[in-house]
Amino acid sequence: MNDTTMSTDYYEVLGVARDATEDQIKKAYRKMAMKVHPDVAQTEDAHEKFKQISEAYETLKDPRKRDIYDRGGDPNQAGGFGGAQGFPGGFSQGGFDFTNLVDAMFGGQGSRGPRSRVRRGQDALVRLQLDLAEASFGITKAVRVDTAVLCPVCTGTGSADGGEPTRCTTCHGQGEVTSVQRSFLGDIRSSQPCPACRGYGTVIPNPCHECAGEGRVRSSRSINVKIPAGVATGNRIHLASHGEVGPGGGPAGDLFVELVVRQHDVFRREGDDLEMVVRIPMTAAALGTRVSVQTLASDRPDDDLGPAELEIEVPSGTQSGTRVAVQGEGVPRLRVGGRGDLGVTFMVQTPTRLDDEQRELLRQLAELRDESTAEGHVQKAGKGVFSRLREAFGGHD
């Protein structure tokens, strides 16, 4: 070891205190290794420095070797570092194990071992369109789901004859193979999933012809989904274990049904309230009347949903934009109970076609009301008639 290049005090080499913990030693080594690695530093003494910090780390991370070193002994005695005498752990005259270096620098845990053939399936998401009445009052609807299901031939085993998987002869059941590459540092060894068994460590001698050994196949099926009353666009129904069946016949994931509510020709939903616009003649608005309106319940005839038709009182002198609220005829409140209101906004229609007799009658009315030369009045800023009408039709101020 070159004493003129770097101190042989292992604690000083890594820049840690003599009472440093194992975690502090590991962090210090990672920092130093990234700094002086020959591929990074590219200096003449980089290789020697890297060997020294590796030797220091291999000694101090091992409690037994660290104890020998602290008492003044030689932890390298008799190949105590697992390599030829005089070389740090993992190094040998033929090279070093690249996997050990990566594990030390990035916290790896070494070999991962074979992975399981049986795993949980993924969750699935489907969208379901509803009419406003279906979303408001609830319904049970069938949903088509295209997902992976248990193979009907092998029932998830993946084997055509029901046999058990056998040990892979390529990786000897390890699930990974090691390759060696030459470099200026020596032999670099790296591990990767076994190509023969795809990392499982076992192979199926006679795979099922239906699922090719996966234990599952894709299929379209129908599921009845109960939609509670009061749902809205964006709400999701969670169905546990109705998603994708996992590889190897593993447990199924969950299914999420996302709801999309179509627009209605008459009603507009505002939270738990329903809004509608009713057009009435000018004469009816002036004199007052009663109008019959169809409720949302008429889209789904059911005595439990309320009346399909309501009579609304129109007071005399009603103006365009006047809103009347009918309590309890809106949308059922999800998980809370009760229902919102039905808002009825009146739009007064002015006649556009008049015969001579009608025009004369209106002229006489205007004279009686002293409105023959009436001038318009400017509406002050605020929520007036036009503002209320725009809101009724879904517009904005």
Q: Is 95 annotated as a binding residue?
A: no
Helices (H), the chain: 10-14, 22-36, 38-41, 46-60, 63-70, 98-106, 132-137, 282-287, 356-368, 385-392
Q: Is 197 annotated as a binding residue?
A: yes
Q: Is 154 annotated as a binding residue?
A: yes
- Distance in angstroms (rounded) separating the CA atoms of residues 226 and 194: 46
SS3 254: coil
Which residues have CB under 8 Å from 134's CB, separation 6+? 141, 227, 300
CB neighbour class for 117 (10 Å; exposed up to 12, middle 13-18, buried from 19): buried
Q: Is 173 annotated as a binding residue?
A: no
Phi and psi torsions of 324, nearest 5°: -115, 130
Q: Is 211 annotated as a binding residue?
A: yes
CB neighbour class for 161 (10 Å; exposed up to 12, middle 13-18, buried from 19): exposed
**Relative orientation angle of helices 46-60 and 63-70, to the nearest 10 degrees:** 100
Q: Is 194 annotated as a binding residue?
A: yes
Q: 296: which DSSP letter?
A: G
Known binding positions for Zn(2+):
151, 154, 168, 171, 194, 197, 208, 211
Known binding positions:
151, 154, 168, 171, 194, 197, 208, 211
